[in-house]
Amino acid sequence: MYLSDLKVGQKAIVLQASISLPVKLYEMGCMPGEEIELNYAAPFSGPMCFLVQGTSISMRKELAELVPITDPNIKSLQNDR
Report the residue number, 1 or 57, with the smaller CB distance to other proteins.
57
CA-to-CA distance for 67 and 15, rounded, in angstroms?
Answer: 8
Q: Are strands 35-41 and 11-13 parallel, antiparallel or unpaired?
A: antiparallel
Distance linking the first and last C-alpha atoms of the chain: 22
**Position 49: which residue type?**
C
Report the residue number, 40 or 73, with the smaller CB distance to other proteins.
40
Binding residues for other proteins, per CB under 8 A? 20-29, 31-32, 39-40, 42-47, 49, 51, 53-60, 63
The CB-of-36 to other proteins minimum distance in angstroms stands at 14
The CB-of-24 to other proteins minimum distance in angstroms stands at 5
